[in-house]
């Protein structure tokens, strides 16, 4: 279980990105975080694996205080939390295989990994992960030779290499068209259902939220303004969350 | 990150500028500086004296010393019996290099003139008597005119008298070019100098890369600047780079000359220091300019800092690093030419020697070689960079 308790984040320039955010995520949930651009979704997800340092508050994961972890302990926490990004964040000049293997870096020795000595097991696992996202034949291609949707699938394979218990996905489909969006989210849904991997995912479009979320929390100006089931979010709620920009977001929906 | 993007036009311009500077230097040094004994004065450009000296000089530069034939000494002789009738008179040839005495034979202490035809023009030669014993008796030095002609007084001394029917002979030793045209000594010396210069630049660049590459990560904000220790390291390395960069290679070369002899070693050392500073800055800027996404992604997998650098940063900077390294090798060839000129060895040093000893044809060879090398390095470095990125 992931417990976020009274989380605050104030950036050095004074921006209050998160204010007193508290919520729990049960194992096996597909939690979707919604909110306007700038409402603090990315900040929240990055606080969970400490890519961003929270200013105040606590994050407990299976009872372990993530906010207090340092050094090797923190890396130990991180390697069980996969992360997917809007911009895929692959190393573009490296091969697909190298990108996927990089997901194992938290598990292997520094010296061996630097000279590229990967165990047969790791390589086999990487191939299985690529097969799972349907890209086994692209293993030796350079990452930047792939389309956006393919790159995001490689990123999922990389996260799988971590044997994660939790996947954080920060707007994983915001750079993709609707058809590809569904294909990517279906992979996440499959991992969530079959591997019992907890997913915390931020999304922009209401129809995707309705289709994939088991639970939803909404952020507005860094504060939680809604927690509940996806069906509870009707047009009125939606307008409440998105304010005057609601029309704009809906326009995106019909596209 | 801004490496200049040279094209053909840049290369041509570079060639012309180099040529112009080299010629201007030589004109100024040999013409004005020596003529007036005072430092450069623009008015000297109008002095006819300068142009009188510069003109032939320009000619020398346009006819660099590239090829020569082997030289063999050849002795030109003609019997002149002393006294008359003691032996058969010599018969001068009708054409070709020849000695023609005004008399076919002479009595002791007679004076006569000897003319030489079709010899090497403008050359100093020694006239002598070959005695019947086989030894020779040295005579005066003469210089042929532009047509290879001379005329000189000879005296028939008693010592040259015919002995056992063998007459004395007048003779002159000529240096005759024989065989095929071959690359001259200057050609090989220049080639040698060019190779030394290119290697000085290569060694300095390679040594600088070894030092600058690791330190550039410490001077990159997105790698090092975390926590008080990281921030301190970042500013320290950055400051060292900045201080080193404010020195000129030639100044540092002079400083090093106090430690080690002024020569290629001091030159390479100085060049290395300057290159470390410059590459360090270029490298760290390249590192700061990377896409932070992969760094974030790999940090999130639980990779440690070294692994993140190696897997997320290094692949992104390789093309930039390669292009900076080649760019700097190119620059260093030019700088090491200049360092060489003030004593650092290589082609620059050769050029300085030739200019200072007035061997302008050889200096010309060196200048043409420098122009060629600078142009070629510029071209190659541009091509490689184009291909690699
Ligand atoms: N590194 C940063 N420094 C200062 N302010 C930031 C930084 N990152 C984000 N912010 C600000 O924090 C707020 C929340 O941003 P973010 O978490 O990216 O929101 P979202 O992902 O929902 O668009 C915004 O006002 C944004 O401008
Ligand atoms: Mg965001």
- Looking at the fold, whether A54 and A12 belong to one and the same domain comes out as yes
Whether the CB of A28 is below 8 Å from some CB of chain B: the reply is no
With an 8 Å Cβ cutoff, are B311 and A106 in contact?
Answer: no
With an 8 Å Cβ cutoff, are A105 and B311 in contact?
Answer: yes
Please identify, among B43, B61, B79, the residue that sits at the C-terminal boundary of a domain. B61
Pocket test for ligand 1, best of A33, A43, A171, A174 (most atoms within 8 A of CB): A43
- Looking at the fold, whether B111 and B237 belong to one and the same domain comes out as no
Pairing of strands A56-61, A2-10: antiparallel
Pocket test for ligand 1, best of A9, A14, A40 (most atoms within 8 A of CB): A40
Rounded distance between C-alpha atoms, residue A62 and residue A24, angstroms? 11
pLDDT at B47: 65
Which residues partner with A4 through β-bridges? A23, A59
| pLDDT band, very low/low/confident/very high, at A171 (cuts 50, 70, 90) | very high
- Looking at the fold, whether B51 and B109 belong to one and the same domain comes out as no
Taking the CA atoms of chain B, what radius of gyration do you get in angstroms?
Answer: 33
Q: Please state the three-class secondary structure of A44-95 as a single string.
A: HHHHHCCCCCCCEEEEEECCEEHHHCCHHHHHHHHCCEEEECCCCCCCCCCE
The total of structural domains in chain B comes to 3
- Map residue B320 onto helix, strand or coil: helix
Q: What is the pLDDT of residues B304-330, one digit of tens each?
A: 999 999 999 999 999 899 989 998 998
Return mean pLDDT, chain A: 91
Whether the CB of A78 is below 8 Å from some CB of chain B: the reply is yes
In a domain? residue B106:
yes
Q: Are A95 and A141 in contact (CB under 8 A)?
A: yes
- Evaluate if residue B270 carries a pLDDT over 80: yes
Rounded distance between C-alpha atoms, residue B89 and residue B161, angstroms? 13
The residue ranking higher by pLDDT, A246 or A221, is: A221
With an 8 Å Cβ cutoff, are B293 and A98 in contact?
Answer: no
Domain boundaries, position A232: 1-80+165-171+197-255
Q: What is the pLDDT of residues B332-370, one digit of tens each?
A: 998 888 888 877 788 988 988 888 887 888 888 898 899
Q: Are B332 and B317 in contact (CB under 8 A)?
A: no
Residue to mutate among B226, B286, B301, B317, with most A CBs inside 10 A, is B301
Q: Are B99 and B92 in contact (CB under 8 A)?
A: yes
Minimal Cα distance from A93: which residue of B? B315
- Ordered strands of the B98-101 beta sheet: B98-101, B111-117, B150-155
- Evaluate if residue B43 carries a pLDDT over 50: yes
| A35 CA: nearest ligand 1 atom | 22
Contact pairs from chain A to chain B, CB under 8 Å:
84
In a domain? residue B1:
no
Which residues partner with A220 through β-bridges? A223
Please identify, among B182, B206, B225, the residue that sits at the C-terminal boundary of a domain. B182
Whether the CB of A94 is below 8 Å from some CB of chain B: the reply is yes
Rounded distance between C-alpha atoms, residue B252 and residue B254, angstroms? 5
In a domain? residue A90:
yes
Would you call the peptide bond into B83 cis, given omega within 30 degrees of 0 as the criterion? Answer: yes
Beta-sheet strands, E only, within chain A? 2-10, 16-25, 30-35, 56-61, 64-65, 81-84, 166-170, 198-202, 215-220, 223-228
pLDDT > 90 in chain A, percent: 81
Whether the CB of A188 is below 8 Å from some CB of chain B: the reply is no
In a domain? residue A186:
no
- What are the backbone dihedrals phi and psi of residue B76, each rounded to the nearest 5 degrees, phi first? -100, 125
Rounded distance between C-alpha atoms, residue B241 and residue B278, angstroms? 7
Minimal Cα distance from B313: which residue of A? A91
- Looking at the fold, whether A67 and A10 belong to one and the same domain comes out as yes
* B316 vs A contacts (CB less than 8 Å): 91-93
Residues B248-265 have a mean pLDDT of 75
Give the number of whichever ligand sits closest to the CA of residue A220.
1
Residue A17 in contact with ligand 1 by CB distance below 6 A? yes
Rounded distance between C-alpha atoms, residue B355 and residue B367, angstroms? 11
Among the partner residues A51, A92, A114, nearest to B296 by beta-carbon distance: A51
- Evaluate if residue A131 carries a pLDDT over 90: yes
Whether the CB of A114 is below 8 Å from some CB of chain B: the reply is yes
Residue B88 gets which letter from DSSP? P
- Looking at the fold, whether A71 and A101 belong to one and the same domain comes out as no
Rounded distance between C-alpha atoms, residue B236 and residue B358, angstroms? 50
| pLDDT band, very low/low/confident/very high, at B184 (cuts 50, 70, 90) | confident
On whether the pTM is more than 0.80, the answer is: no
Q: Are B132 and B166 in contact (CB under 8 A)?
A: yes
Entry field: residues in chain B? 389
Q: What is the pLDDT of residues A39-88, one digit of tens each?
A: 999 999 999 999 999 999 999 999 899 999 998 999 999 999 999 999 99
CATH number, residue A71:
3.40.50.300
With an 8 Å Cβ cutoff, are A92 and B300 in contact?
Answer: no
Please report the ipTM that was assigned to this predicted complex.
0.93
CATH number, residue B78:
2.60.40
Q: What is the pLDDT of residues B196-240, one digit of tens each?
A: 999 989 999 999 999 999 999 999 998 888 888 999 999 999 999
Which residues partner with B115 through β-bridges? B100, B151
Tokens found for residue B308:
């993140």
Please identify, among B149, B165, B182, the residue that sits at the C-terminal boundary of a domain. B182
Domain boundaries, position B171: 69-182
Residues A88-92 have a mean pLDDT of 96
Rounded distance between C-alpha atoms, residue A202 and residue B128, angstroms? 108
Q: Are B247 and B274 in contact (CB under 8 A)?
A: yes
With an 8 Å Cβ cutoff, are A78 and B301 in contact?
Answer: yes
pLDDT at B282: 93
pLDDT at B34: 46
| Ligand 2 mean position, distance from CA A42 (Å) | 4
- Looking at the fold, whether B35 and B22 belong to one and the same domain comes out as yes
């Amino acid at each position: 279980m992931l417990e976020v308790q009274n989380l605050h984040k104030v950036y050095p320039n004074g921006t209050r990105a998160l204010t007193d955010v508290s919520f729990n995520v049960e194992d096996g949930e597909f939690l979707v975080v919604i909110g306007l651009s700038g409402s603090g979704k990315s900040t929240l997800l990055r606080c969970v694996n400490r890519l961003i340092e929270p200013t105040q508050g606590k994050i407990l994961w299976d009872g372990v205080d993530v906010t207090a972890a340092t050094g090797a302990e923190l890396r130990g926490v991180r390697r069980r939390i996969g992360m997917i990004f809007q911009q895929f964040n692959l190393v573009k000049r490296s091969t697909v295989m190298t990108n996927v293997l990089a997901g194992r870096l938290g598990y292997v020795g520094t010296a061996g990994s630097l000279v590229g000595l990967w165990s047969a097991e790791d390589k086999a696992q990487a191939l299985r992960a690529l097969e799972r996202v349907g890209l086994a034949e692209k293993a030796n291609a350079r990452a930047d030779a792939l389309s956006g949707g393919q790159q995001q699938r490689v990123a999922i394979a990389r996260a799988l290499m971590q044997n994660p218990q939790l996947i954080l996905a920060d707007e994983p489909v915001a750079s993709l068209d609707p058809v590809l969006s569904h294909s990517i989210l279906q992979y996440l849904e499959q991992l969530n259902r079959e591997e019992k991997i907890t997913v915390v995912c931020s999304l922009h479009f209401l129809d995707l939220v309705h289709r994939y979320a088991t639970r939803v929390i909404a952020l507005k100006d860094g504060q939680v303004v809604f927690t509940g089931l996806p069906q509870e979010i009707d047009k009125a709620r939606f307008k409440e969350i998105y304010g005057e920009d609601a029309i704009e977001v809906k326009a995106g929906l019909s596209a | 990150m801004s490496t200049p993007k040279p094209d053909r036009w840049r290369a041509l311009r570079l060639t012309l500028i180099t040529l112009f500077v080299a010629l201007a230097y030589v004109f100024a040094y040999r013409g004005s500086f020596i003529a007036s004994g005072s430092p450069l004065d623009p008015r000297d450009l109008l002095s006819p004296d300068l142009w009188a000296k510069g003109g032939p000089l320009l000619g020398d530069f346009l006819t660099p010393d590239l090829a020569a034939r082997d030289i063999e000494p050849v002795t030109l002789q003609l019997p002149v019996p002393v006294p008359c009738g003691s032996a058969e008179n010599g018969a001068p040839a009708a054409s070709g290099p020849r000695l023609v005495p005004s008399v076919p034979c002479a009595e002791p202490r007679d004076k006569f003139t000897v003319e030489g035809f079709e010899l090497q023009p403008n050359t100093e030669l020694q006239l002598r008597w070959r005695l019947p014993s086989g030894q020779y008796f040295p005579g005066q030095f003469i210089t042929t005119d532009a047509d290879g002609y001379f005329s000189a007084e000879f005296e028939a001394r008693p010592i040259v008298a015919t002995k056992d029917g063998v007459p004395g002979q007048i003779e002159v030793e000529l240096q005759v070019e024989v065989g095929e045209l071959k690359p001259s000594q200057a050609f090989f010396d220049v080639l040698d100098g060019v190779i030394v210069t290119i290697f000085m630049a290569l060694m300095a660049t390679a040594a600088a890369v070894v030092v600058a590459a690791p330190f550039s990560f410490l001077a990159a904000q997105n790698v090092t600047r975390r926590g008080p220790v990281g921030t301190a390291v970042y500013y320290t390395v950055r400051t060292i780079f900045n201080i080193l960069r404010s020195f000129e290679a030639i100044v540092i070369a002079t400083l090093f000359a106090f430690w080690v002899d002024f020569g290629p070693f001091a030159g390479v050392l100085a060049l290395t220091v300057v290159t470390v500073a410059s590459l360090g800055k270029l490298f760290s800027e390249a590192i700061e300019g990377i896409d932070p996404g992969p760094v974030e992604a790999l940090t999130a997998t639980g990779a440690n800092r070294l692994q993140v650098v190696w897997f997320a940063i290094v692949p992104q900077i390789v093309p930039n690093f390669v292009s900076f390294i080649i760019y700097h090798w190119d620059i260093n060839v030019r700088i090491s030419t200049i360092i060489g000129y003030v004593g650092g060895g290589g082609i620059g040093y050769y050029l300085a020697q030739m200019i200072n000893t007035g061997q302008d044809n050889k200096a010309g060879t060196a200048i043409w070689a420098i122009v060629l090398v600078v142009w070629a390095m510029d071209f190659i470095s541009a091509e490689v960079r184009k291909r690699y990125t």
